[in-house]
Structure formats: structure tokens, C-alpha cells
Amino acid sequence: MGLTPRMLSWIGRIAIAIFLVFGMANCTRLGLNYASLDIEGKPTAWPPVADEPETFLQNREMWKIRLEDHIFGPFPEGLASKRISHKVIDDNYLHGLGTLEEYIIEISGAGNTKRFTLGIAWPKTETPAPLIISQSFCGNQTAFQTAAMSPPLTPGVTDFCGSGEGSVMSRVAQLVFGRYIASPPMEQVLSRGYAYASFYTSELIPDSSGAARAMMPDFPHAERGEISGAVAGWAAGFSAALHVLENDHRIDAARTAIIGHSRSGKSALVAGSYDERIDAVIAHQAGTGGTALSRAKAGETVPEMLENYPHWFSPAYQEFDAGGAYTTPVDMHVLIALNAPTPLLIGNGRRDVWSDPNGTWRAMLEAAPVYEAAGGNSLKQDTMQTPNLDANLVFWMRPGGHSITATDWDAWLTWLDNVMPQGEEVPAAPNAASMPPT
């Protein structure tokens, strides 16, 4: 019996699924090992900043320039942004829980412009809502679980996951990276009173080395010069979205948070270090080039990351020497410290050794005195396993690997309630005894 078109279709889907499972797993090296909880004998952050945190704060611009020169390239700070169009997609979103809308945003600078699509779900509340802005790995159709959202504007860029949450690629992505990697628990977010906005990173700058490098000279930039890494451009998307939304009467502009996972965690940290309007940052499993120290590193090294994703960073990062004891001109504790005093939660998975929770913990220990000096209610936990969700600097680690889970979202929303209080009683922060074992 010959193969029918239906059988061929399923064979093709299975082949794609197998390819994605192995390809994605290779990207993040989903391991079976546990991250070490022991920091004895491991390199401390270099250059040190903890001994003189006030001096660090006085020299913030110098440290930003050092990060730009060696890692991220120029940040397009101060770009103009405006709303080009706005439409209501669904006034009865999620059976009346919220309203789903869509904006076209244009950013401009140095004679260049770039447009991207921002989706936003509004809770149906009487008072201004706190805002979460996130970046999606797939596209707005998947992020908001409806094909009614517009496809990406950028030529050649499509929704990675197809046309929504039910697509084969979306299901495979969730299988590998967790239930909420492609779309958040929107019912929970809206029920907690938050507005949720999201844009597709590849619509802003394609997540492909050749296409990204070709676009960068035409990407809007400011006086710091042309961007040379996609992370900096993606970070500018957070600021552009906030600029458009902060004047909307439905938003409480004093309670705006940004969330990023993996590469978007890196861009969230960059955005938080430049944009003082941001009131809270969640950087989840940002790893190398984001939160983890680079010297004597467990998991992904700088050369390994640059081999796979050279377009994320400035070409100067290729020369980064993380091998010696005192050879790193700057490391990721500086990026963490530059977010002070903005509340910052850094997420980790105990089995996500590739992202190096241990190196992230050591980076946070070095940055914590800067938060304290900035009046930021600094790190209030003694170990990697005892998060204090009342603090402004939090190391969060749950079981599992490189993913986004229900446990993550429960903790994130509780923390945001705590650091962006809503003028009413909010859920108490879990204590160590109630945390899941790691």
C-alpha cells in the first residue's frame, strides 16, 4: 500500500518534531546533572565591585561603556518611538476575562526607522493595571493563543511556532522547554490584575546570524553609534513598548515590569540597566552573557555561545578571555549591579547546568552590596535554595531544566505583587519551607 498524503503529512511532522527536540536540546544542553551548591574554591567576580559599591554607583556610565565595548555593543539609548496604529483584536478575550489589542510601533533614530507589532491583553478592571512586558520566542499568534493576531511585519520572518499554541512546533517547544515557553498562563496573569504585553524578538531583529548582521547597520541608533549585537536591539524594544504604553490611562506607570527568558533574559537585564522607568525586572536563566560569571565556567562557555549565536553580541566579545584569573575586562556581575536599585529577580533551574546557576549566584553575591548601597533592599537569602520573595534582589531556583513552568510564574507574580504593591493585601511571599525541593 502506498503512502497517502495524510500519512506523509504525519511523517513530516514527526521528522520536524525529532529535529526540533534534538536541535533545541543541543542549543541549551539540557542536562541530567545538578548545579553545584558549593562556591568554595570557585573564582570570584572580576573586576570586584562589592568593596566600594558607592564608587561603582558614581561611575555607572563608565561601566556601561565597558559592557558595550567588550560584550553588547552600543545600546540605542533614547530612541524616539510612536504608535502607528492600534486595533482591538478581541473585546471578549478568554471568555470575557480581558481585552486583546494590537499596536504597530515605530522606533526611529539616526535617520532609520523600524516597526514591530506589540500585542497586549488588558484585564477588565476599574483601576489602572500594573504592566508586564515580555518578549516571545515564537510570535504574537502563539503568545496570545489566537491566530487573529497579525503575522510579523519583517519580510522573511514568520511565527516560529506556526499559527498558534496548537501547532506541532509549539507543542514540541513546550515539550522541551516547559508549558509556558511559547505563551504565558494568560488567565492567571489577567486574573491577578496584570496587563500583559509581548513582542516577537525576531520581528525586531531576526534571530539568525546572517539576517541580523545585515539588518544592524539600518537599525535605529543614537549617539552611541550603530548597534553591533541583537541583544542590545531587542532590549530597545522593551523601552519602545513602555514609551508607547506608559501614557495609556489603563496602565499604572509606576508599576511596570519586564520579563525575559534565556536570550531575552539578557536583553531584559540590558534594558533594566538603561531605562529608569522600568520598575521591576525578571531575568530567567539568562546564563552566559547575561547573569553567569565567565571565568572557570560550568556549562556554556563564551566561545561555545559565540559559535552558535555570534549575532547576539558585539564582535569584540570574540576576544573575551575568560581563562585567566584576572583577564576579564568586565563580567556579568556588573550588568546585574547596573540594574540597582530596580527590583530584580534572577531565575534558575537546578538541572540547568548549561546556564550555570552557581556562577549566577556568585555574580549576585558580588552585585548585592551595590544594591544595598543604592537603597535597593538587597539580597535577603543565605543560600541558593532559600529565596526571599520580599527582597528587591532575588536568586530564584526551582527543580528542572531550561524552561518556564507554572512554579516559575507563581513565584514571579507573587514577587511582583510584593515589589510593586497594589495598595491592597497581596499574597504572602513563600518561605523556604514552602519552596519546592531543588
Give the residue numbers annotated as catalytic, written as ranges.
Answer: 262, 402
**CA-angle at 284, arms to 278 and 290, nearest 5°:** 80
Query: What DSSP element (H or E) covers 196?
Result: strand 195-200
Q: What backbone torsions phi and psi does residue 59 show, to the nearest 5 degrees?
A: -115, 35
Q: Cβ distance 194 to 131 under 8 Å?
A: yes
- Cα Rg, the chain, nearest whole Å: 21
For CA atoms 292, 335, 254, 395, give the dihedral sign.
positive
CA dist 402 and 176 (Å) reads 9
Query: Which residues are CB-neighbours of 31 under 8 A, at least 6 positions away?
Result: 351, 352, 353, 354, 401
Query: Which residues are CB-neighbours of 287 under 8 A, at least 6 positions away?
Result: 262, 265, 299, 300, 352, 354, 355, 356, 360
**CA-angle at 317, arms to 344 and 200, nearest 5°:** 55
197 HSE (CA, 13 A, CB side): 28
CA dist 354 and 300 (Å) reads 5
CA dist 391 and 418 (Å) reads 8
HEC states along 265-323?
Answer: HHHHHHHHHHCCCCCEEEEECCCECCCECCCCCCCCCHHHHHHHCHHHCCHHHHHCCCC
Query: Which residues are CB-neighbours of 4 under 8 A, at least 6 positions away?
Result: none
> For the chain, what's the residue count?
438
Secondary structure percentages of the chain, helix, strand, coil, to 5: 40, 20, 45
- Across the strands, what pairs with 200? 136
Among the listed residues 208, 220, 271, the one whose alpha carbon sits nearest the alpha carbon of residue 80: 220
Among the listed residues 395, 436, 396, 391, the one whose alpha carbon sits nearest the alpha carbon of residue 418: 391
HEC states along 107-144?
Answer: EEECCEEEEEEEEEEEECCCCCEEEEEEEECCCHHHHC
